[in-house]
Structure 1
Amino acid sequence: MLKPIAWVLTAVLAAVSSMAAAQVYPSKPIKLIVPQAPGGATDVFARYLAQQLGAVWNQPVVVDNRAGAAGVIGTDAVAKAAPDGYTLLFTYAGSQAVNQSLYSKLPFDSVKDFATVTPVATTPFFLVVASGSPITDFHDLIARAKAQPGPVTYATSGNGSINQLLSESLNIEAGTKIVHIPYKAISAALMDVASGRVDNAFAAVPSALPLLKGGKLRAIAVSSSKRNSSLPDVPTIAEMGYPQFDVRPWWGVLAPAGTPKAIIDKVNTDVAKILRTPEAQRFFHDQGADVFVTSPSDFQQILESDVIKWAKVVKASGARLD
């Protein structure tokens, strides 16, 4: 009888310890690691959330950009961090759910080594060309690619990025051979599209909007099944003959596996309160994104499902990073 009693006592003590940790959390600055370069959608969303959480918690929430290896470097840093809630990961589906299939061996497991905390937003990708590009619209791009296999090019934020997988998905769907030109960051990729050095690119709405509004880029399609409210005149790829094309990646917060449930629940609750405010909803709407609130367990199911979904896309595209 002693062993079952010992197990119960251990469980109770663990629960009490977790609750106590949450009651005083956070009592010092929090590091929010972003595994992408500054300037992209992940960085923009992370900095807004960090500012809001810092005000709520009365503690600094410091954004730490650790770009490299398609997000692996920053993600690995969080996987190996102490599971105490003071090192969190702000990432997106294109890194967390895709890398598991792009690499034959990762220093972490994208699902098992993390605790899902909360999603924050979803946003589609615009397919963009230079404002002065001779490519008039989506159908013209496909026609040119089919007539001249090879010379038509697309830019991405790097090999294995979701930008590449979107373009390769389009190649598969449309039967084209648009050529990949990888960059180290989406900002550099978009500048070369704007200058005409590269023909087109898929870019998350927040990354593309400044150049679209500034007249340097022109959107010819959007990746979601519904049009985006920031540019409602831009048609979806689905409505132009590819009905299965519907991509709206999530952005969200994860923690190292083993982080106390009470801390995870607190972060989830506080982020949800922020996202439900008119100010936050206006911010994300202005970025062309939709706020996304759900529980840690639901977020876990979404991550696991996305790993399976993107594995099929990676296999079909032939993309590999090792």
Structure 2
Amino acid sequence: MDAQYKISRRTVLQAAGVTALAPISARAQTVSAGAFPSRQVRIVVPYTPGGTNDVMARAIAQKLQEMWPHPVIVENKPGAAGNIGASDVVRAEADGHTLLLTNININSMNPALIDRMPFDPQKDLAPISLLGTTALALVVHPSVPANNTQELIAYLKKRPGQLSYASSGNGSPQHLSAEMFKALTGTRVLHIPYRGAAPGVADVVAGQLEMTVGVVNQLIPHIRSGRLKAIGVTSKKRQPSLPDVPTLDESGVPGYESEIWLGLCAPAATPAPVIRQINAAVHKILTMPDVVTRLNGQGLEVLTSTPDQMRQRAADDLVRWTKIIKTAGIKAE
């Protein structure tokens, strides 16, 4: 009996030791077998509440919670141009229960702007799907005697360095989009960075600065009131909310395209079956009429993709923005 007891006890201890040494492997197998989600899911938004990323995250989280048997929460972790929240997800367990509401800044701009990135978005994040885009618009104060792109280019070229534009911060999409305009048109305009979009737009409305590039949805009230003139939108196609405003590409700046895209990522080693399951759920959500209406009302156009398409979009944008950033000599503050 003693010998049998010792053998049995040793066997149990060995089994327990194997289990203790490989919890992640066992969990990964369980997840791969389709038991996802097995607990609360957290979507990290690396910016403050109320912004575009936050709106998208909460729209998706609400529907996921209705579809899945466990809570889905949104956690805002702002700072360092989005890198604080993104780093939190990179370090999280790669089982699909921690996700990142990412965007073009984190995946395709920060790596070109920041010399010592705390992670590599291409290697350390697994793309799930693109979620949507929001266009920008180039606007000027009514005192600027230009009503279209060609008139503005001519006006700027006669006054190199004499006019100023506002951005929502150094290295922001608004900043980089304006620098792309300067690079493609050969114009010189002084950059005045602000802490956020609102104060910069307010100073352009007040006539303190002559122009800015901003998110269409945030500029529409000023455009409709006549306090700002819309010169062109930065997207490849015209925006439904500003149908009479041409794109910069069609109005004489060939090749110009700049828009902010949003996407969903997970830690790099997240099992492929989990990625596919989340991708399918998100695609279903983004076809729901109430979700589409809610997002369109915030200036977001729904966009979905495969994980590979999202990875390629981020890689292509990184190449494009790296060239603009180097040409303009931009560095993150």
Change beyond 3 A, Cα 1:55–1:204: farther
- Correspondence for 2:214: 203
Q: CA deviation at 1:59?
A: 4.3
Partner of residue 30 from structure 2, selected from 17, 30, 35: 17
Residues 82-101 of structure 1 aligned to structure 2 (within 5 Å): 82-101=93-112
In the alignment, the residues of structure 2 paired with residue 261 and residue 304 of structure 1 have an alpha-carbon distance, to the nearest angstrom, of 20
Q: CA deviation at 1:212?
A: 4.3
Change beyond 3 A, Cα 1:182–1:67: farther
Q: Give the number of the structure whose alpha-carbon radius of gyration is greater.
A: 2
Partner of residue 199 from structure 2, selected from 185, 188, 194: 188
Change beyond 3 A, Cα 1:71–1:16: closer
Change beyond 3 A, Cα 1:254–1:210: farther
Give the counterpart letter for 2:37 in structure 1: Y
Give the counterpart letter for 1:80 in structure 2: R
Q: CA deviation at 1:281?
A: 2.8
Q: CA deviation at 1:231?
A: 0.9
In the alignment, the residues of structure 2 paired with residue 86 and residue 15 of structure 1 have an alpha-carbon distance, to the nearest angstrom, of 12
In the alignment, the residues of structure 2 paired with residue 310 and residue 205 of structure 1 have an alpha-carbon distance, to the nearest angstrom, of 21
SS in 2 for 1:112: helix
Partner of residue 62 from structure 2, selected from 51, 56, 60: 51
- Correspondence for 1:102: 113
- Conserved 8 A contact 2:150-2:252: no
In the alignment, the residues of structure 2 paired with residue 34 and residue 214 of structure 1 have an alpha-carbon distance, to the nearest angstrom, of 33
Residues 41-190 of structure 1 aligned to structure 2 (within 5 Å): 41-57=52-68, 59-130=70-141, 132-137=142-147, 138-190=149-201
- Conserved 8 A contact 1:119-1:294: yes
- Correspondence for 2:285: 274
Aligned residues: 308
Give the counterpart letter for 1:305 in structure 2: D
In the alignment, the residues of structure 1 paired with residue 206 and residue 105 of structure 2 have an alpha-carbon distance, to the nearest angstrom, of 26
Deviations 1:21-56 (Å, cap 9, x if unpaired)? x4240522x332222334432233223223332333
TM (normalized to structure 2)? 0.82
In the alignment, the residues of structure 2 paired with residue 14 and residue 38 of structure 1 have an alpha-carbon distance, to the nearest angstrom, of 32
Change beyond 3 A, Cα 1:34–1:133: farther
Q: CA deviation at 1:274?
A: 0.8
Q: CA deviation at 1:217?
A: 4.1
Give the counterpart letter for 2:322 in structure 1: A
Q: CA deviation at 1:306?
A: 2.1
Give the counterpart letter for 1:297 in structure 2: D
Root-mean-square deviation (CA, aligned residues, Å) is 2.5
Asked whether 1:247 is paired with 2:254, we answer no
In the alignment, the residues of structure 2 paired with residue 58 and residue 128 of structure 1 have an alpha-carbon distance, to the nearest angstrom, of 47
In the alignment, the residues of structure 1 paired with residue 245 and residue 114 of structure 2 have an alpha-carbon distance, to the nearest angstrom, of 35
Give the counterpart letter for 1:267 in structure 2: I
Give ranges in structure 1 of 5+ residues lacking alignment: 1-11
Change beyond 3 A, Cα 1:291–1:243: same
Deviates more, 1:250-259 or 1:200-209: 200-209
Give the counterpart letter for 1:27 in structure 2: R
Give the counterpart letter for 1:18 in structure 2: V
Identity fraction in percent: 37
In the alignment, the residues of structure 2 paired with residue 210 and residue 262 of structure 1 have an alpha-carbon distance, to the nearest angstrom, of 44
SS in 1 for 2:192: strand
Partner of residue 32 from structure 1, selected from 40, 43, 53: 43
In the alignment, the residues of structure 2 paired with residue 257 and residue 298 of structure 1 have an alpha-carbon distance, to the nearest angstrom, of 16
TM (normalized to structure 1)? 0.85
SS in 2 for 1:307: helix
SS in 2 for 1:83: coil
SS in 2 for 1:249: strand
Give the counterpart letter for 1:142 in structure 2: I
Deviations 1:67-115 (Å, cap 9, x if unpaired)? 3322222222222222232321112113321111111211100110101
Give ranges in structure 2 of 5+ residues lacking alignment: 1-24
